[in-house]
Amino acid sequence: MTSSSQSAEAPHNFRSVKSSQVVLKELMIPSYANFGGKVHGGIILSLMDKIAYTAAATHSRGYCVTASVDSVNFVNSVNVGELVTLMASVNYVGRSSMEVGIKVVSQDFKRGIEKHTNTSYFTMVAIDETTRESIPVPGLILENDKEIERFIWGKFRKQYKLDYKKQFHSMQDDLDMSREKQKLLNENCFVKSPNKSV
């Protein structure tokens, strides 16, 4: 069964969104910072991967891998001494994949402000540890409009990524390298040892 929107009772193996929601808080210590005193983006990414795994593994009750990470745009920097809070929720599930939405905020105690750092989406896939093949995950029980809309957006993003992949591969096949080399004259680069064919 893939959908249960009309029935009163959800199938027994389906799980609610809130049953796998996770919150993770971490204080930003000096060893996380770069020379400018700002926290490395990689530290935040690592925390995001950790919370995405926790949410996906809680939903599927099994081992998962990170299949992809949607674009991550940091809209505010994070300073040492701030408390970073990550909130994760399984938005969408397919057969074996789960999209986990993650919101990251940072609290600056000294100035008494909270900043939105970024919102991103991780796709996690449930895996059989012996065969390494993807395996089915339980369906999601959607209990309000917000959860329904997040599920629809997750499905939309999955389709968008598949379409993008197809389009990119066809553009790659059509790429004319000699023509592109000519166009480098207009780019912000200097070709030191040009190939005679350029």
Q: What is the binding site for ligand COA (CB under 6 A)?
A: 65-68, 94-97, 123, 125, 127, 134, 161
In our burial notation (b when 16+ CB lie closer than 10 A, e otherwise), range 23-37 reads ebebebeeebbeeee
Question: 65 or 75, CB closer to ligand COA?
Answer: 65
Tell me the C-alpha distance between 102 and 7, whole Å. Answer: 30
Tell me the C-alpha distance between 132 and 79, whole Å. Answer: 40
Question: 82 or 138, CB closer to ligand COA?
Answer: 138
Tell me the C-alpha distance between 188 and 180, whole Å. Answer: 14
Residue with the shortest CB distance to ligand COA: 94
Tell me the C-alpha distance between 51 and 121, whole Å. Answer: 11
The minimum distance between CB 81 and ligand COA, in angstroms, equals: 30
> What are the CA-CA distances from residue 82 to residues 27, 33, 173 (Å)?
6, 11, 47
The minimum distance between CB 123 and ligand COA, in angstroms, equals: 4
The minimum distance between CB 94 and ligand COA, in angstroms, equals: 2
Question: 29 or 65, CB closer to ligand COA?
Answer: 65
The minimum distance between CB 175 and ligand COA, in angstroms, equals: 21
Question: 32 or 121, CB closer to ligand COA?
Answer: 121
